[in-house]
Structure 1
Amino acid sequence: MLRQLNDRIAQIVLQMAQQLCSADEQELTDREVRLAVLAAAHLLHTEVGAHRDDAAVSAAQVGADYADIGTAIGMTRQGARRRWPDLAAVTRAARQL
């Protein structure tokens, strides 16, 4: 499954890079192409990170605590607390309902 995911991510990054390059109708150098791939990978990384943050908040809204969230993504409770310091209040509010 991870192999398929990596292949799909590579395809998405290349498609994004092609779209970034399509604004320039001229022939691109190898350097420009590789920089477009880097820009596309960075954009995808940023968007995936935003989705991860939203998912952490969503999990806290249904009562997941730092240990639960950390376990779900392979980090410690302390790591989850450092990444999302405000989730404790969200979890407390969810558990009071």
Structure 2
Amino acid sequence: MTQVVDELARRLVADTVPPSAEHRDRADQARRQALLRLRVLAGVKEAVRHLEDQAAHAAAAGGAGYPEIGQAMSMSRQGARRRWPGLITNSTPHPTHRPTPRST
């Protein structure tokens, strides 16, 4: 996953920063590319966090609890609860087992 994100960031930077024509500007160009890469990666991190929030809400709506959500995020139940306080409430639908009616 890291390689995919790194490649995406590098491609976005390469598309944004035109190469410098002068040899003496190479250090400046490298600095600008590194700073732009940081900006791109910050945007990726924000987008991933947003997508995590959406997935956590969808999981909770599907009946997942904090232990399952925490495990999916490689964090504890408490960590998931701190990240998404109020995500799991009494109004969150939970799957229930309904016994099959017997005919008599």
TM band (smaller chain): 0.7 to 0.9
Q: Distance in 2 between matches of 1:30 and 1:51?
A: 31
Shift of 1:57: 0.3
Distance 2:63 2:91 in 1: 7
Please show how residues 79-94 of structure 1 align to structure 2 within 5 Å: 79-89=79-89, 92-94=91-93
- Residues 16-95 of structure 1 mapped to structure 2, 5 A cutoff: 16-21=12-17, 25=18, 27=20, 29-89=29-89, 92-95=91-94
TM-score (norm 2): 0.75
Q: Percent identity?
A: 29
C-alpha RMSD over aligned residues: 2.1
Rg bigger for which structure?
A: 2
The letter of the residue matching 1:14 is: R
Which residue identity lines up with residue 86 of structure 2 in the other structure? D
Q: CA deviation at 1:86?
A: 2.0
TM-score, scaled to structure 1: 0.79
Task: Say whether the 8 Å CA contact 1:14–1:37 is kept in structure 2.
Answer: yes
In the alignment, structure 1 segments of 5+ residues that lack a partner are none
Deviation at 1:26, TM superposition (A): 6.9
For structure 2, the residue ranges without an aligned partner over 5 or more in a row are: 21-27, 97-104
Extract structure 1 runs of 4+ deviating beyond 3 A: none
C-alpha distance 29-80 of structure 1, shift in aligned 2 (>3 A): same
Whether the 8 Å CA contact 1:57–1:87 is kept in 2: the answer is: yes
